[in-house]
Amino acid sequence: MSGQTNIALKTESTRKFKDKFAKYGVMTGGILVLCALLLIFFYLLYVVKPVFDSAHVDSREATSTLDKAYFATGIEEQTEISYAITPNATVDFFNAEDGMSGQQIASIATEVPGEITAYSQSAPHKGLFGFMNDDARLTIIKPFFKIDFKNNTRSLTPRVQLPFGEEPLPELLDEEGYTVEKFVFAEEEGVLGILYQLQNGAVRYARLEGEENMFTEEIEWIVEQSELDFVDGKVERLLISPDASRIFILTKNEIYVANSRVGSEVELLYTKNISRPNQQITTAKLLASANSLMLGYTDGKITQWFEVNGKAGRDFVQVRDFTMDVEGSDKAVAEIYPEFYRRTFIATTSSGEVNFFHTTSEADLWQGKLPTDNITDISFSPRSNAFVVLSANQLDVLNVENEHPEVTWSGLWQEVWYEGYAEPDYVWQSSSASDDFESKFSLVPISFGTLKAAMYAMLFAVPIGLAAAIYTAYFMAPSVRKIVKPTVEIMEALPTVILGFLAGLWLAPLIEEKLPGVILLILLLPVAIFLTAFAWHNIPQKIRNRMPVGWDSILLIPIVAFVGYFSFEMSPLVEEWLFDGNTRLYITNELGITFDQRNSLIVGIAMGFAVIPTIFSIAEDAVFSVPKTLSSGSLALGATQWQTLIKVVLLTASPGIFSAVMMGLGRAVGETMIVLMATGNTPIMDWSIFQGMRTLSANIAVEMPESEVGSSHYRILFLAAFVLFIFTFVFNTIAEFVRQRLREKYSSL
């Protein structure tokens, strides 16, 4: 007896140890899962946070004292050397490194024949400076820096290049007695555009195209000129786009916008009144890409104008405005200085107060005071991480932290009016082959696409999955259930990349070709099933008794196969009869509906096929797990099978059924490969079943390999991942909450 007692005690202690081990093991696993989720959550926040950081500007200890008059300045890419240019075409170079004294390190003079009457500079990213002499001949220079790596040490040597030769360009004037008073110029692929005004007030445009002589290898210039006699009033500003395709002439109250692609036939496009009550225009400047014109006024207002495609054709309109946030009464905009490539610009006052703005995001990035007033020129570095300030007696270099000016919360989730668009819109377009491209980072289209894809998948999967689960668990014979349930569950193991491949390359072309047959199948299949059931119900009882109980659904397999075959065979006849022989053209031309081959219908079928096993398995287990005593009691009280199913079984299984639907929804929201291969990846907002979409997960998969680490694009993709994480978290939380409420409500059954 004592031996048996010892064995029993040992067994009991072993069982308790195993129970505790399992308890704490499961608890530890749950805690680790929660920790992993929290780590993912905070890591995503860590990567995303910098895009919402404000801009910062810090002065360097690299101030250069000047003893000459300069009109323009600049700084090289590594921000180690700055330069300033005198009106007589001398370029002085200064040390711009932090902690240095800013001493002059070189001075290079360019010989310009005759007397210089006017000077100007090109768009910032071109880095060209022009000098017009009294014979109306233009000399263009370009400061640059030669990089050497002698003795494994990097060194920069300042140089000045004459990109169009040492000889000035051809003379622009035939008559004598006049000189050029002001001008602007632009160069694009060997073509020069020069917009200039003479002392007598006449405004002209010249287009110079250089061709190399095959014998002398000298450049011969073809000059085309136009007299711009449409200008009325005193000219305040002349502007030209970097590609010389547009010219802008500002008077006191009006702006003239002209097409200058043909130098001998300049076409006036728009004449706009830009005056404001009791205010005067103080400055005007083209932003990077020259699609936007910025106008500054005496009250500190800055307005943005660009061309749009409206209902009445193209027009030049005011899109938005900004207000200088400065202290004191002097709010007049003295000058506007744009960055090289982004839509960020600096606006200054005469007292040295500045504001940083970004047009697309409408963000006021930074406000402060520069180390000097009476600013002559400001120039950004090519990487926009520093800028140099030129005043009457000094040259200052300032560091800038402004990596993500185009990203704001409103820009991500609200409509934004982009350059060239007819109206504000939600747009995702993250990259382009052009440096002038304006990134568009609205998360609304891809979030909408995620919900749209999930909705169409659930419309396909939920009715089929739940109906199959209920029938299999409640009506089907056990012997058939043993075959059907594992078969459907095996479908879940099918790789989604295979489903996406088949959907994109086989199903999409098939449905496009047989679209009338698909519509016919959707209409005929329910009718055929109903008629089969009606016929089976009305045949003699003796015949029905020959079919084993629960096997009658097998009769539908040949019916479904026949209806499918019949529908697809009838597709050409229906297409010829109803759609004039081409369904796609009929939908596009007659109904005005855009038809994409890879559309929501394809996604609904393919992703629904992937989601059905999840919904079926969980829902079938929930229905099958309802105690037989409940259904037997209901039947014993006189209820029919359908009444028992609806009033007892489904109510009791409702927590599990709801969980099945929500699990399927979570699977659909997070699906990547199917939507990547079967949707066309078009980030549009349209509920049409014949158009595609782009989802959050597919967008991350497509664009993450191409994004620059640390860039705005890179971090916004992580933000998209964070949004997807929140989507699934919210859906799962709601599912758990509703499931618990349903369990509490029907637990008494």
Is residue 6 very low, low, confident or very high in pLDDT (cuts 50, 70, 90)?
A: low
The reported pLDDT for the residue numbered 435 is: 63
510 belongs to a structural domain: yes
Among 92-96, 177-181, 456-460, name the one with the lowest average pLDDT: 177-181
Judged on CB neighbours under 10 Å (0-12, 13-18, 19+), 621 is middle
- Evaluate if residue 151 carries a pLDDT over 70: yes
Q: 450 is written with which tokens?
A: 């995620």
Strand extents, DSSP E, 511-611: none
215 belongs to a structural domain: no
The reported pLDDT for the residue numbered 474 is: 86
Contacts of 603 (CB under 8 A, 6+ apart): 453, 456, 457, 503, 674, 675, 678, 679, 692, 693
- Evaluate if residue 558 carries a pLDDT over 70: yes
The reported pLDDT for the residue numbered 23 is: 86
Is residue 371 very low, low, confident or very high in pLDDT (cuts 50, 70, 90)?
A: confident
If one counts every other C-beta atom within 10 angstroms of the C-beta of residue 674, the result is 31
The reported pLDDT for the residue numbered 60 is: 84
The reported pLDDT for the residue numbered 393 is: 86
The stretch 382-405 carries a mean pLDDT of 90
Report CA-CA distances (Å) from 247 to 184, 308, 344, 461, 608: 10, 17, 22, 58, 55
- Evaluate if residue 110 carries a pLDDT over 80: yes
Higher pLDDT, 8 or 698: 698
**pLDDT tens per residue, range 224-249:** 899 998 888 889 999 999 888 899 99
The reported pLDDT for the residue numbered 719 is: 93
**Cβ pair 706, 431 in contact under 8 A:** yes
Among 59-68, 448-457, 546-555, 588-597, name the one with the lowest average pLDDT: 546-555
691 belongs to a structural domain: yes
- Evaluate if residue 329 carries a pLDDT over 70: no
Question: Which residue from 337, 332, 231 is spatially nearest to 294, judged by alpha carbons?
Answer: 337
The stretch 474-478 carries a mean pLDDT of 83
The reported pLDDT for the residue numbered 86 is: 92
The reported pLDDT for the residue numbered 9 is: 62
Higher pLDDT, 177 or 629: 629
- Evaluate if residue 252 carries a pLDDT over 60: yes
- Evaluate if residue 333 carries a pLDDT over 70: yes
The reported pLDDT for the residue numbered 452 is: 92
The reported pLDDT for the residue numbered 279 is: 87
- Amino acid, single-letter form, for residue 130: G
Q: How many domains does the chain have?
A: 1
Question: Range of 471's domain?
Answer: 441-746
Using DSSP's 3-state secondary structure scheme, residue 232 falls into coil
**Cβ pair 298, 332 in contact under 8 A:** yes
The reported pLDDT for the residue numbered 19 is: 84
**pLDDT tens per residue, range 690-747:** 888 899 999 999 888 888 888 889 999 999 999 998 888 887 788 778 777 777 776 6
- Evaluate if residue 140 carries a pLDDT over 60: yes
Describe the strand order of the beta sheet including 81-85 as a list of residue ranges.
72-75, 81-85, 90-95, 104-109
625 belongs to a structural domain: yes
Is residue 197 very low, low, confident or very high in pLDDT (cuts 50, 70, 90)?
A: very high
Q: 467 is written with which tokens?
A: 């109906």
The stretch 542-547 carries a mean pLDDT of 77
- Evaluate if residue 661 carries a pLDDT over 70: yes
The reported pLDDT for the residue numbered 388 is: 92
The reported pLDDT for the residue numbered 322 is: 92
641 belongs to a structural domain: yes
User: How far apart are the C-alpha atoms of 303 and 293, rounded to whole Å?
Assistant: 8
The stretch 657-672 carries a mean pLDDT of 86
Rounded to a whole number, what is the distance in angstroms from the first to the last CA of the chain? 47
Q: In this prediction, what percent of the chain has a pLDDT beyond 90? A: 25
The reported pLDDT for the residue numbered 4 is: 64
- Evaluate if residue 291 carries a pLDDT over 90: no
The reported pLDDT for the residue numbered 238 is: 93
User: How far apart are the C-alpha atoms of 694 and 452, rounded to whole Å?
Assistant: 9
**pLDDT tens per residue, range 563-586:** 888 888 888 888 888 888 888 888
Among 155-164, 321-330, 497-506, name the one with the lowest average pLDDT: 321-330
H or E stretch including 486?
Answer: helix 478-491
**pLDDT tens per residue, range 603-618:** 889 998 899 999 999 8
**pLDDT tens per residue, range 414-439:** 999 988 888 888 999 887 766 667 88
The reported pLDDT for the residue numbered 548 is: 74
CATH of the domain at 540: 1.10.3720.10
Phi, psi of 572 (to 5 degrees): -60, -40
Using DSSP's 3-state secondary structure scheme, residue 302 falls into strand
54 belongs to a structural domain: no
- Tell me the average pLDDT of the chain: 86
75 belongs to a structural domain: no
Report angle CA 11, 16, 21 to the nearest 5 degrees.
125
- Evaluate if residue 496 carries a pLDDT over 80: yes
Is residue 595 very low, low, confident or very high in pLDDT (cuts 50, 70, 90)?
A: confident
Give the DSSP letter string of 305-355: EEEEEETTEEEEEEEEEEE---SSS-----EEEE-SSSSEEEEE-TTSEEE
- Evaluate if residue 288 carries a pLDDT over 90: no
User: How far apart are the C-alpha atoms of 117 and 407, rounded to whole Å?
Assistant: 44
Q: 336 is written with which tokens?
A: 């506007």
| Helices 712-746 and 696-703: angle between axes, nearest 10 degrees | 150
- Evaluate if residue 653 carries a pLDDT over 60: yes
**Pairs from 464-468 (Cβ < 8 Å, separation ≥ 24):** 464/608, 464/612, 465/611, 465/612, 465/613, 465/614, 465/615, 465/616, 465/619, 465/660, 465/664, 466/615, 466/616, 466/619, 466/657, 466/660, 466/661, 468/612, 468/616, 468/620
548 belongs to a structural domain: yes
pTM reported for the whole predicted model: 0.85
The reported pLDDT for the residue numbered 302 is: 93
Strand extents, DSSP E, 177-327: 180-188, 191-198, 203-212, 219-227, 237-240, 246-250, 254-259, 267-273, 281-286, 292-297, 301-310, 313-323
